[in-house]
């Protein structure tokens, strides 16, 4: 049976991937937002250049890099008309309305502030800052409350792209509308084998550039916890990190390659993250000394286990007085990071019939089903839209003052996100990522 379902999903999969990378290109509107890029970054093409192709109201018009030759090559490859000599020149260009900042984490807050001061709207890569202090300096900056010449404060959005995909809304709706009271435990895992695939001089492995697994992919896991609970934790109760391997640890003694941490949320529920840029030597039948040198491949996921509750009325289950029908639900979202390619949301339930007084179990059975959500009817979107394309839609809506879907990453949310990351570092005994000397 599963094989027919699986085979049936192939045409949709192929069509989504094909259209994502060869999207329709509508004509640009006369007042399209003119976007400039900081740096010839690796993520730029996926995060904004490709999504902008299918958006009529945004054009990627400029790029600036520390080295002009590099910027020119990038501009040629991605068909970007203007090349600036420096990041400052990009900001001085009056024809640019908005900027995308995919620089090393240590430069996010600084360049976001400079951009806002230059009157630009900002799409800022995650994590928004090196630590909570920097995040507060950025998101509490008076410039965000000042009115610009269009009588609108500038838009600043931390690019938590996954949040804009409808699959995350579907996941949340399966938990309920009072997640804080309904959840018992959440596990969020994000593991990527970057230590095997990219050199150790990458920005992700540099403490001074605010790197580290928790800052890189850990931000997603932390954000999944916060967005699943819809609440902030009370305390980080444990945090254990793994450092870079020899010989890299000598130069980078404070950069973690992995982090496992747990927080207690209001009501006593626990949220755990497990993030790694390499291996923890898990999930393998090989001996430990070999396994710990190998990467662990694991689909990013977030799993929410809910408290057992009484099923109010169930026409399927005829109850005699003195008995009650209880259910304990677990909702697992596999691949919240890039759900357009593939994702699955499993709803597993354990049902029991219990004696109402003693709560002793009289009968037990399990049910399982799964759902997928590529597009919500009545909301802008297409099944082939990437998380980045959904995000761009909302960014443009905000800049244009349009209502949009209502999904957003608030400034307060971005500040709290960094507070939670700082708590993990403190609990793990690692120093917080250094604060910029830039003063706004
Ligand atoms: N949303 C997502 O899915 C993803 C987000 N990211 C985030 O985007 C950001 C950039 O990641 P990625 O594109 O992989 O990074 P890159 O390695 O491509 O670096 C980005 C840019 O940083 C600039 N840079 C400025 N100062 C330095 C420095 N001291 N050392 C090295 N580079 C410097 C370079 O600009 P120049 O060209 O001017 O030299 C470079 O192009 C990070 O914050 C990361 O967390 C990354 C991947 C995925
Ligand atoms: O933001 C990101 O998303 C995907 C990851 O693989 C990457 O390291 C990270 O920067």
CB atoms within 10 A of CB 82: 18
Characterize the bridge pairing of strands 361-371 and 344-355. antiparallel
Give 312-321 pLDDT, tens digit per residue.
Answer: 877 776 777 8
Per-residue burial over 234-243, b = 16 or more CB atoms within 10 Å of its CB, e = otherwise: eebeebebbb
Distance 106 CA to ligand 1 centre (A): 10
Ligand located closest to 158 CA: 1
Ligand located closest to 48 CA: 1
Cis (ω within 30 of 0) for the bond into 269? no
Give 96-115 pLDDT, tens digit per residue.
Answer: 999 999 999 999 999 999 99
Task: Return the domain boundaries, the chain.
Answer: 2-162+388-411, 166-338+340-373
pLDDT at 262: 98
| Overall CATH class of domain 166-338+340-373 | alpha beta
178 half-sphere exposure, CB direction, 13 A CA radius = 5
Q: Under a CB-based contact definition with an 8 Å cutoff, are residues 129 and 432 in contact? A: no
Distance 203 CA to ligand 1 centre (A): 7
Distance 202 CA to ligand 1 centre (A): 9
pLDDT at 255: 97
Tell me what the pLDDT averaged over the chain comes to. Answer: 93
Distance 200 CA to ligand 1 centre (A): 14
pLDDT at 439: 87
Is the pLDDT reported for residue 196 higher than 90?
no
Distance, CA of 297 to CA of 191 (rounded, Å)? 7
Give 216-248 pLDDT, tens digit per residue.
Answer: 999 999 999 999 999 999 999 999 999 998 899
Least confident of 121-125, 168-172, 309-313: 309-313
| Strand spans (E) along 82-234 | 82-84, 98-101, 121-124, 156-158, 183-191
Distance 340 CA to ligand 1 centre (A): 23
Distance, CA of 258 to CA of 289 (rounded, Å)? 18
| Residue 394 DSSP one-character state | H
CB atoms within 10 A of CB 136: 17
Geometric angle at alpha carbon 85, from 83 and 91, rounded to 5°? 85
Distance, CA of 8 to CA of 208 (rounded, Å)? 49
Task: For residue 47, give the ligand 1 atom closest to its CA.
Answer: 1
Three-state secondary structure call for residue 178: coil
| Residue 245 DSSP one-character state | P
Q: Which residues line ligand 2 (CB under 6 A)?
A: 192, 194, 216-217
pLDDT at 414: 98
CA proximity to 31, closest of 432, 303, 402, 400: 400
Substitution candidate for ligand 1 out of 100, 103, 109, 340 with most atoms within 8 A of CB? 103
Distance, CA of 388 to CA of 165 (rounded, Å)? 8
Phi-psi group of 401: left, alpha or beta (phi > 0 → left; psi -120 to 50 → alpha; rest → beta): left
SS3 content of the chain, % helix, strand, coil (to 5): 35, 25, 40
Q: Under a CB-based contact definition with an 8 Å cutoff, are residues 129 and 422 in contact? A: no
pLDDT at 26: 98
Share of the chain above pLDDT 90, in %: 83
pLDDT at 293: 65
Substitution candidate for ligand 1 out of 99, 104, 338 with most atoms within 8 A of CB? 104
What fold characterizes domain 2-162+388-411? Answer: Rossmann fold (3.40.50)
Atom 31 of ligand 1 has which residue's CA nearest to it? Answer: 203
Phi then psi for 353, rounded to 5 degrees?
A: -105, 125
Distance, CA of 165 to CA of 326 (rounded, Å)? 32
Task: For residue 66, give the ligand 1 atom closest to its CA.
Answer: 38
229-to-157, 188, 272, 370 alpha-carbon distances in Å: 21, 12, 12, 21
| Strand spans (E) along 265-343 | 270-276, 301-306, 309-310, 323-334
pLDDT at 149: 61
Q: Which residues line ligand 1 (CB under 6 A)?
A: 39-43, 47, 65-67, 70, 102-105, 107, 125, 159, 161, 203, 209, 216
Quickly state the pLDDT bin for 177 (edges 50, 70, 90). Answer: very high
Geometric angle at alpha carbon 318, from 313 and 320, rounded to 5°? 100
Give 368-397 pLDDT, tens digit per residue.
Answer: 999 999 999 999 999 999 999 999 999 999
């Amino acid at each position: 049976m599963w094989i027919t379902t699986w085979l049936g999903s192939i045409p949709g999969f192929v069509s989504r991937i094909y259209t994502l990378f060869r999207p329709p290109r509508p004509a640009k509107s006369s007042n399209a937002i003119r976007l400039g890029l900081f740096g010839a970054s690796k993520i730029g093409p996926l995060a904004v250049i490709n999504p902008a192709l299918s958006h009529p109201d945004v054009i990627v018009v400029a790029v600036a890099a520390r080295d002009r030759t590099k910027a020119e090559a990038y501009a040629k490859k991605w068909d970007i008309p203007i090349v600036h000599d420096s990041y400052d020149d990009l900001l001085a260009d009056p024809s640019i309305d908005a900027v995308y900042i995919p620089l090393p984490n240590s430069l996010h807050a600084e360049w976001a502030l400079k951009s806002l001061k230059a009157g630009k709207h900002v799409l800022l890569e995650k994590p928004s800052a090196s630590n909570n202090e920097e995040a507060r300096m950025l998101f509490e900056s008076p410039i965000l409350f000042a009115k610009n010449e269009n009588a609108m404060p500038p838009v600043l959005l931390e690019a938590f792209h996954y949040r804009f995909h409808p699959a995350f809304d579907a996941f949340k709706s399966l938990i309920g509308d009072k997640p804080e009271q309904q959840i018992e435990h959440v596990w969020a895992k994000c593991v990527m084998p970057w230590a095997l695939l990219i050199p150790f001089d990458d920005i992700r492995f540099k403490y001074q550039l605010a790197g580290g697994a928790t800052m890189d992919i850990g931000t997603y896991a932390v954000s999944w916890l916060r967005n699943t609970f819809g609440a902030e934790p009370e305390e980080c109760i444990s945090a254990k990190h793994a450092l870079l391997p020899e010989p890299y640890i000598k130069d980078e003694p404070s950069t973690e390659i992995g982090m496992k941490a747990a927080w207690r949320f209001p009501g006593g529920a626990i949220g755990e993250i497990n993030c790694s840029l390499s291996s923890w030597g898990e999930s393998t039948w090989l001996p430990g000394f070999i396994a710990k040198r190998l990467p662990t491949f694991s689909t990013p996921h977030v799993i929410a286990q809910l408290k057992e509750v009484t099923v109010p009325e169930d026409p399927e289950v005829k109850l005699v007085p003195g008995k009650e029908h209880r259910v304990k639900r677990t909702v697992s979202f596999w691949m919240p990071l890039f759900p357009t390619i593939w994702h699955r949301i499993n709803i597993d339930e354990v049902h029991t019939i219990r004696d109402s007084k003693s709560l002793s179990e009289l009968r037990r059975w399990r049910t399982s089903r799964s759902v997928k959500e590529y597009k919500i009817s009545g909301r802008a979107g297409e099944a082939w839209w990437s998380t980045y394309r959904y995000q761009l839609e909302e960014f443009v809506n905000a800049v244009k003052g349009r209502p949009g879907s209502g999904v957003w990453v608030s400034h307060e949310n971005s500040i709290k996100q960094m507070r939670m990351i700082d708590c993990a570092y403190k609990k793990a005994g690692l120093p917080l990522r250094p604060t910029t000397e830039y003063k706004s």
